[in-house]
Structure 1
Amino acid sequence: MSAAEPTTTAAAEPPTTAAAEPPTTEGHLLGGRVRYAQPASGFRSGIEPVLLAASVPARPRERVLEAGTGAGAALLCLAARVPAIQAVGVEADAGLAELAAANARANGFADVRIAGGRIETVALDGPFDHALANPPYHAPDGSSSPDARREAAKRGSEALIRGWVDRLGRSLRDRGSLTLILPAGMAPACLAAMTDCHTPCTTIFPLWPKSGRPARLVLLRGIRRGRTPMRLMPGLVLHRPDGTFTDAAQAILRDGRALAIDRDGEPQRD
């Protein structure tokens, strides 16, 4: 099951990547609670933005900032779970920014605003209570994608990651939270960047593809000017041995339940 089941304004500055309106497909997130249109080809949303949104500890009327919003999957899921959040999503691709804004309107999320531009330079009206991102993660020397949108969404570098983390961290109020989802191999660079922008990591939460398998993805939580020692949590097992989602994963992906990544206990399976 994909997180986006087939069945997905005010521009603070001009978007840096001009693009024609892409053909789209209509679908839903969170078991039908969220209408979601996304590009018909190229980079398409997986489960990462849904898990990311579930882990953000936002409360009603708090202010939230996302870098690299894409078509808006994470902010849409967060707005569906937490009523009346004041959210800003930053997206450099003009076509995706327009699509994210349209998705917010289609779901009646009047307080979700999309800003066109790069997170490193876009004008922001901070501070924010929470920030989140699913950063680009392919190494600069890796094989490229023939799809320009997919390439832009996934091509990262240590300098780019540091730029994203620095801007997000510095946009937070003191004790505000920064939540990232990324491949485990990117964690060292992100941890260093979080420390450098005075938003040190307090929680590492592995996402296990199956019980006994290495975690390919992790969630990182940082707290602006926080002093809590970092903890490695038990994490969440995503799939049963037969490849179907565990009950714990389904509760997040289909039912819209929050993912408390700071909670102690055994790995969440059922």
Structure 2
Amino acid sequence: MNGLTCDALLGGRLAIRQPEKGYRAGIDPVLLAAAVPAGAGQTVLELGCGVGAASLCLGARVPDLRLTGVELQPAYAELARENARANGIALDIVTADLVALPAPLRAQGFDHVIANPPYHLRERGSAAPDPGRETALGEATPLAAWIDTAARRLVPGGRLTLIQRAERLPELLAAIDTRLGSIEILPLAPRVDRPAKLVLLRARKGGRGPFRLHSPLILHEGFRHERDGDSYTMAISAVLRQGAALPWPK
């Protein structure tokens, strides 16, 4: 793959090579990884892992995880392997379609499944000119298929953690069947008094807890952008710069 950049994540703890043009990991996979309630020694499967940003951020925060990523695009899958080696984090990458996983992977169960599915329905808006970016951002596989694959791969009591655009929350909830429960939604709002643009979802396989819609987590200080710099809140800055866990409501 031509035209690569090397970008620092977690305040320089990780160096991620990714396409200069095409799909590029921003803060979304970092926030996703920070929201995963994983513990040392557990197993994690990421669906649609791209260049490995979310899995590697999670591996940098939680020791001794057994990480597996599934990526459809071979060039991105190979970058994920290279990024894992370069950062010294064990991450097994499987190049496959998430709706047609190879038999060895279908035989495994995981404590956690994480995903950052494409945000855009292709009947809305225009396709991205770069094929890699279009595959990553333009939905070809329905959200229901992502949820079904996740539910199948989770062990009883295992957890799904997923990030998605807020406008697609109704579709996301409609895709969840009785295999998953104890659903929690954490909206992510850019600033105070601004509507949430993203949501984080947590669910447990076999969970019986009530549905919980939490108050929005605010990403930036102030009501508007008033100075140079990123202006992240202290909690979000700790996630992005220091690899801290996301402050999930109790």
- The residue number in structure 2 matching 1:46 is 26
Report the residue type matching 1:171 in the other structure.
Answer: R
Which of 245, 249, 252 is the equivalent residue of 2:232? 245
Report the residue type matching 1:151 in the other structure.
Answer: E
Residue 200 of structure 1: how far off its partner (Å): 2.8
In structure 1, distance between residues paired with 2:218 and 2:111: 29
In structure 2, distance between residues paired with 1:55 and 1:38: 23
Report the residue type matching 2:243 in the other structure.
Answer: G
Q: 1:220 to 1:23 in 2, by over 3 A?
A: same
Q: 1:137 to 1:201 in 2, by over 3 A?
A: farther
In structure 2, distance between residues paired with 1:61 and 1:38: 28
In structure 1, distance between residues paired with 2:143 and 2:2: 27
Report the residue type matching 1:258 in the other structure.
Answer: A
- Mapped contact 1:70–1:100 kept (Cα < 8 A): yes
Gapped regions of structure 1 (runs ≥ 5): 1-20, 265-270
Which of 121, 126, 130 is the equivalent residue of 1:143? 126
In structure 2, distance between residues paired with 1:45 and 1:226: 31
- The residue number in structure 1 matching 2:193 is 212
Which of 192, 197, 208 is the equivalent residue of 1:227? 208
In structure 2, distance between residues paired with 1:90 and 1:201: 26
Report the residue type matching 1:164 in the other structure.
Answer: W
Residue 245 of structure 1: how far off its partner (Å): 1.0
In structure 2, distance between residues paired with 1:134 and 1:70: 10
- Mapped contact 1:205–1:235 kept (Cα < 8 A): yes
Q: What's the CA shift string for 1:177-227, capped at 9, x where partnerless? A: 00110001111121122225x113520001010011000100011100110
Residue 148 of structure 1: how far off its partner (Å): 0.7
Residue 260 of structure 1: how far off its partner (Å): 3.9
Q: What's the CA shift string for 1:119-166, capped at 9, x where partnerless? A: 111121421000010101211212111111111101116x62111110
- The residue number in structure 2 matching 1:259 is 246
In structure 2, distance between residues paired with 1:78 and 1:171: 19
In structure 1, distance between residues paired with 2:182 and 2:170: 11
- The residue number in structure 2 matching 1:91 is 71
- Mapped contact 1:89–1:114 kept (Cα < 8 A): yes
Which of 13, 31, 35 is the equivalent residue of 2:15? 35
- The residue number in structure 2 matching 1:184 is 166
Report the residue type matching 1:251 in the other structure.
Answer: A
Report the residue type matching 1:131 in the other structure.
Answer: V
In structure 2, distance between residues paired with 1:190 and 1:200: 13
Q: 1:200 to 1:191 in 2, by over 3 A?
A: farther
- Mapped contact 1:194–1:222 kept (Cα < 8 A): no
In structure 1, distance between residues paired with 2:169 and 2:2: 32
Aligned residues: 240
In structure 1, distance between residues paired with 2:51 and 2:175: 26
- The residue number in structure 1 matching 2:56 is 76
Paired residue secondary structure (1:118): coil
- Please identify, of 183-192 and 69-78, the stretch whose mean Cα deviation from structure 2 is larger: 183-192
Report the residue type matching 2:142 in the other structure.
Answer: L
Paired residue secondary structure (1:240): coil
Give the TM-score taking structure 1 as reference length.
Answer: 0.86
In structure 1, distance between residues paired with 2:2 and 2:143: 27
- The residue number in structure 1 matching 2:228 is none
What is the RMSD of the two structures over their aligned residues, measured on CA atoms? Answer: 1.3
- The residue number in structure 2 matching 1:5 is none
- Does residue 116 of structure 1 match 2:95? yes
- Please identify, of 137-146 and 203-212, the stretch whose mean Cα deviation from structure 2 is larger: 137-146
Paired residue secondary structure (2:59): helix
Q: What's the CA shift string for 1:93-115, capped at 9, x where partnerless? A: 000000000000001112x1110
Gapped regions of structure 2 (runs ≥ 5): 226-230
- Please identify, of 93-102 and 133-142, the stretch whose mean Cα deviation from structure 2 is larger: 133-142
Runs of 4+ in 1 over 3 A off after TM superposition: none
